[in-house]
Copies of this chain bind each other. A is one copy, B any other.
Amino acid sequence: MGKQLTVEQQFKNVLKEQNAYREAISLAQWDMRTKIPRKGVEQRSEVVGFLAEKLHLLETSDHVKELMDELKSTTSDEVLSKTVEVSLETYEKNRKIPNEEFKEYVMLQSKSESIWQEAREKADFSLFQPYLEKLVDFNKKFANYWGYEANIYDALLHNFEPGVTTKTLDKVFPKLRNSLTDLVDRVNQSDVKPDPSILKTHFPKQEQEAFSIEILNSMGYDFNAGRLDDTIHPFAISLNQNDVRITTRYDEEDFRMAVFGTIHEGGHALYEQNISDKLSNTPLATGTSMGIHESQSLFWENFVGRNEAFWASHYELFKKYAPKHFENVPLDSFYQAVNEVKPSFIRIEADELTYPLHIMIRYELEKALMNSEIEVKDLPHLWNEKMVDYLGIEPKSDREGVLQDIHWAGGDFGYFPSYALGYMYAAQINNVMMKELNMNDIISSGNFIPIKEWLTKHIHQYGKMKKPLEIIESVTKEQLNPDHLVKYLTDKYTRVYNL
Q: Contact at B44–A243, with CB atoms within 8 Å? A: yes
The distance in angstroms between the C-alpha atoms of A43 and B23, with both chains bound, is: 9
Tell me how far the C-beta of A90 lies from the nearest C-beta in chain B, rounded to whole angstroms: 20
Q: Which residues of B have CB within 8 Å of A243?
A: 36-37, 39-40, 43-44
Q: Which residues of B have CB within 8 Å of A27?
A: 27-28, 31
Binding site for B on A (CB under 8 A): 16-17, 20, 23-24, 27-28, 31, 35-40, 42-44, 46-47, 50-51, 222-227, 239-240, 242-243, 245
Contact of A239 among B40, B51, B225, B227 (CB under 8 A): B40
The distance in angstroms between the C-alpha atoms of A27 and B223, with both chains bound, is: 21
Contact of A24 among B24, B38, B225 (CB under 8 A): B24
Q: Contact at B47–A223, with CB atoms within 8 Å? A: no
The distance in angstroms between the C-alpha atoms of A178 and B338, with both chains bound, is: 74
> Smallest CB-CB separation from A100: which chain B residue?
B2
The distance in angstroms between the C-alpha atoms of A46 and B224, with both chains bound, is: 19
Q: Contact at B240–A37, with CB atoms within 8 Å? A: no
Q: Contact at B222–A50, with CB atoms within 8 Å? A: no
Q: Which residues of B have CB within 8 Å of A17?
A: 50
Tell me how far the C-beta of A58 lies from the nearest C-beta in chain B, rounded to whole angstroms: 12
The distance in angstroms between the C-alpha atoms of A51 and B19, with both chains bound, is: 11
> Smallest CB-CB separation from A280: which chain B residue?
B43
Tell me how far the C-beta of A136 lies from the nearest C-beta in chain B, rounded to whole angstroms: 28
Q: In the complex, given contacts A37-B223, A40-B242, what are 9 additional A-B residue pairs having Cβ atoms less than 8 angstroms apart?
A: A16-B46, A23-B43, A24-B51, A27-B27, A37-B224, A37-B226, A37-B242, A37-B245, A40-B240
| 28 A–B contacts, CB within 8 A, in A order | A16-B50, A20-B47, A20-B51, A23-B43, A24-B24, A24-B28, A24-B51, A27-B28, A27-B31, A35-B227, A37-B223, A37-B225, A37-B227, A37-B242, A37-B243, A37-B245, A38-B225, A39-B222, A39-B225, A39-B242, A39-B243, A40-B225, A40-B239, A40-B240, A40-B243, A43-B240, A43-B242, A43-B243
Q: Which residues of B have CB within 8 Å of A227?
A: 35, 37
Tell me how far the C-beta of A216 lies from the nearest C-beta in chain B, rounded to whole angstroms: 13
The distance in angstroms between the C-alpha atoms of A35 and B155, with both chains bound, is: 40
Q: Which residues of B have CB within 8 Å of A24?
A: 24, 28, 47, 51
The distance in angstroms between the C-alpha atoms of A227 and B40, with both chains bound, is: 11
Tell me how far the C-beta of A38 lies from the nearest C-beta in chain B, rounded to whole angstroms: 5
Q: Which residues of B have CB within 8 Å of A38?
A: 224-225
> Smallest CB-CB separation from A46: which chain B residue?
B20
The distance in angstroms between the C-alpha atoms of A43 and B280, with both chains bound, is: 10
Q: Which residues of B have CB within 8 Å of A222?
A: 39
Tell me how far the C-beta of A298 lies from the nearest C-beta in chain B, rounded to whole angstroms: 25
Q: Which residues of B have CB within 8 Å of A37?
A: 223-227, 242-243, 245
Tell me how far the C-beta of A30 lies from the nearest C-beta in chain B, rounded to whole angstroms: 9
Q: Which residues of B have CB within 8 Å of A242?
A: 37, 39-40, 42-43
